Amino acid sequence: MKINFTYNIRIENEKFGTLLNETFVDGVQFKLFLKMVHGCLELKGDLDFFNGTDFLVHIPYKYLVDSIVLTSLVTPTVGEVSLSEHMKSKVEALVTK
């Protein structure tokens, strides 16, 4: 039985509150979105994204850089777990073998 993971990204700003709270069911799409956010931070550019139908995001760099980016992994049976905790448990499982 395969467990379907959902991935969440939340961008919180002290002045504006939650700028983005998006959930992905496809791990590849989530990884691409995270790389886009990271690229905007590294290259000091605005976060602009439009999926062509119903999802548009524009966060200017000056607000993005002052925000906190939080990610989490949610499973239907276990509940919310941070991605770092998930990876830590995977590494610990490999080490104990």
Range of the domain at 37: 6-96
* 40 part of a folded domain: yes
* 1 part of a folded domain: no
pLDDT in tens, 6-43: 999 999 999 999 999 999 999 999 999 999 999 999 99
* 46 part of a folded domain: yes
Whether the pTM exceeds 0.75: the reply is no
Calculate Rg over the CA atoms of the chain: 15
d(CA 96, CA 94): 6
Q: How many domains does the chain have?
A: 1
pLDDT in tens, 76-89: 755 555 666 666 66
Tokens encoding 63:
């607000």
Tokens encoding 80:
């919310």
